A and B are shown apart, each in its own frame.
Chain A
Amino acid sequence: MNSKTMVYILKRIGLAVLTVWVVITVTFFIMHAVPGGPFMGEKAISAAAQASLEAKYGLDKPLMQQYFTYLRDVVTRFDFGPSLKQRGRMVIDIISDGMKTSAKLGVIAALVAAAIGIVLDAVAALRRNKLIDKFIMVLTTAFVSMPSFIMGSLLLVLFAIRLAVLPANGAAQNGLILPIVTLALYPMAYITRLTRSSMLDVLGQDYIRTAKAKGVSGVKIIFGHALKNSLIPVITYFGPMLAYIVTGSLVVEQIFAVPGIGRAFVSSITNRDYPMVMGTTIVLAVLIVVMNLISDIMYKIVDPRINLE
């Protein structure tokens, strides 16, 4: 690793830290700009009760003081304060509870997407311009044009209602299969398209021609020589893929009633549980920013020729 790469990595980390700070700040001030405060909409409470509630949650202090307290708590202790609607629970506990299910869902979906996407790409490259290649391209084009909530609802109708082979409820046995498929289809199609174009690029290189001239078989060329190099762009997709899975899981968990962080986030928005909204936004945002950071740095290390500036 030369010093230029080092400088790039340091700059990139700086940007990530700045981004996280912006997310926390923006989230804080947006949520505090809502008129009426977090206790509006509940049954009428007396002024004294309102005042004591505000004192309890520190809402009577000046806004800037609240901000610095919040920032300090979040950065040093991952403390997002107590939830307003689920009395007696801390936001971070709700998040880590939901995260267990959501992480399982997301990680499996990502692995499935990567594995099948790469296989499909290899098959398409091996049978280039044949029927199966065209079929794969049409299918993946259709998948990338379909919003996740529509995909999820259609799968739900088909497999859980019409055929009744899989449960519609995400909390049931095998309940995560449909949500995983829903989340995996888009990244899978995207990876196939991404690697297909880089695969075509790699197949035009001299060393592939040499291998062909030596009489190496097509399968061996694809899997032994071309695939590894055509996968480099996939590294850059790790960050966006995570972002997609996170936002996708918001609706997918809603559709299949998966008890994960996405559903908790959406219901906290409808319930106006502000500390919960802030906490979840910040946690998910940090996750995405860190993943983007990792994939950018890995890309730079794997292929130092690439200039990302």
Chain B
Amino acid sequence: MNVLTEVAVEKKLNPMTKESNIKMRGKDVTVHYGEKQALFAVNLDIPERQVTALIGPSGCGKSTFLRCLNRMNDTIDSARVGGNITLDGEDIYDPKIDVVELRARVGMVFQKPNPFPKSIYENVAYGPRIHGLTRNKAELDEVVESSLKKAALWSEVKDRLQESGTGLSGGQQQRLCIARAIAVSPEVILMDEPCSALDPIATAKVEELIDELRANYTIIIVTHSMQQAARVSQRTAMFHLGYLVEEGATDKMFTNPDDKRTQDYITGRFG
């Protein structure tokens, strides 16, 4: 009896889940750091225009998985990625894939706000500029403005675009980083614990922003906060010790998880 109601509830709450396109798909993804294996055969589908939260205790492999999705692990010499990850059906680890293009399509926001030590304007304009997305200054100005607006930062910084990005508060810096990611019009935005360095008010703003961005972007967020995962995501994947324990609609995961470990973790019994 339960199973049926669950499905019904899930369908009702997330009408797109089953039908929506799969934007990214990980199949048997394994990652080794040198001798140490960090991920074991992870299979996870990321639906388009939804927020997918990756949760799990520290060292469970959720950030590792996230960094596989735009090949940021390439920058770590000892990291080896196995299995298969696709973006719109294309294997992103195919040697023919251009990493620069991939990272433009799959943007990333990091745990610690990391604006460039340049002006706010330059921070946002950098991506469009290197990718040649605009033809002139006016267009670039427009991209900067719309990106900052989308990141809900415009009203706070519009009068001081030439001031250094590092002079902003932590929450503003993180929204600047989001604006910087948005400026290259990515399809997917990866967020690695974007609020862990922020106070509750700044966190609320970023969460609100994530919710708005969902309309246009596919978002994958790693978080340590159960509440955050519950608040912002439509789907949740639980990692533990390098394995994907369980994944599904967020509401189900938080109310009636299949796996005992998930239940223990979200109720705060470990982790």
| Real binding pair | no
List the interface of chain B (C-beta within 8 A of A): none
List the interface of chain A (C-beta within 8 A of B): none
